Structure 1
Amino acid sequence: MFSVSHIHHVAIICSNYQTSKKFYSEILGFRIIAETYREERQSYKLDLAINPNQQIELFSFPSPPERPSRPEAQGLRHLAFAVDDLESCIKHLNQHGVITETIRWDELTGKRFTFFADPDDLPLELYQL
């Protein structure tokens, strides 16, 4: 039987490693677990803890191709983070120069959410529990 307990990690390739490292670790507050530079690939790999069970792996590669984000492209649509206080998270992001969309309501669940983008314009969502 195939059984999954949770998502372990999401891997993201960034265009500017230092900018994305600051965004995910300092602005979003994800704890750095490990940072590795792989000389043979000229690539960084940064492991970030979202919580004890989930991580983001942030990669840098020389000259990665751009990925379309908008209009919505085929493939992974967005990455959503569950939050308890949507307004305080939006305020925090805005204070750090991160633009957030207007708060919307999920018609199916009745929950509130908003979108914002990382430094490479990848769509990220805050979803209030």
Structure 2
Amino acid sequence: MPKTPIQSIHHVAIICSNYKRSKFFYTAVLGLTIIQETYREKRDSYKLDLELNGQYVLELFSFPSPPPRLTRPEATGLRHLAFAVADLEEAIRHLEQYDIPTEPIRIDELTQKRFVFFEDPDHLPIEFYETLSFG
């Protein structure tokens, strides 16, 4: 099998329904840092480039009247966005400060690591995956 030319994942792109609300969620709540914010007048669209710990990770787009997500994570396409966290309880407490509910904590049956799901303002499933080991 030939060696892949792919070096790494470059970014994830998300289209939001309310740019101001989603910008607050990804920057203030999740703590991503703005690299660049661009308004594209011809498209009546914003593009927000975000980084995490100095690494470009997310493009947030706004478009006039985007169609809603059709189904939950089991639909074909992007299933969810996952972020590594060192302490899951601390991460959940952080979300609670913003009144963001989480599902019950789950255990990954393959790694025995703990994780939890919650939603962004457009109901995109987001996962916090704990990187600490308790075994």
How does the TM-score come out when normalised to structure 1?
0.95
Is the Cα–Cα contact under 8 Å of residues 69 and 123 in structure 1 kept in the other structure? Answer: no
Q: Separation in 2 of the partners of 1:102 and 1:61?
A: 33
- Which of 80-89 and 69-78 deviates more? 69-78
Q: 1:98 aligns with which of 74, 84, 100?
A: 100
Tell me how far 1:68 sits from its aligned partner: 2.2
Q: Which residue does 1:63 correspond to in 2? A: 65
Q: Separation in 1 of the partners of 2:84 and 2:7?
A: 17
Tell me how far 1:71 sits from its aligned partner: 6.2
Between Structure 1 and Structure 2, how many residues are aligned? 129
**Residues 41-63 of structure 1, C-alpha deviations (whole Å, 9 max, x = no match):** 00000011023234110000000
Q: Which residue does 1:52 correspond to in 2? A: 54
The one-letter code sitting in structure 1 at the alignment partner of 2:92 is I
Runs of 4+ in 1 over 4 A off after TM superposition: none
Q: Which residue does 2:116 correspond to in 1? A: 114
How does the TM-score come out when normalised to structure 2?
0.91
Structure 1: stretches of 5+ with no match in the other structure: none
Q: Separation in 1 of the partners of 2:97 and 2:77?
A: 31
Q: Which residue does 2:9 correspond to in 1? A: 7
Cα distance change, pair 71–25 in 1 and its aligned pair in 2 (3 A)? closer
Q: Separation in 2 of the partners of 1:121 and 1:53?
A: 25
Q: Which residue does 1:43 correspond to in 2? A: 45
Whose Rg is larger? 2
Q: How high is the sequence identity, in percent, across the aligned residues?
A: 64
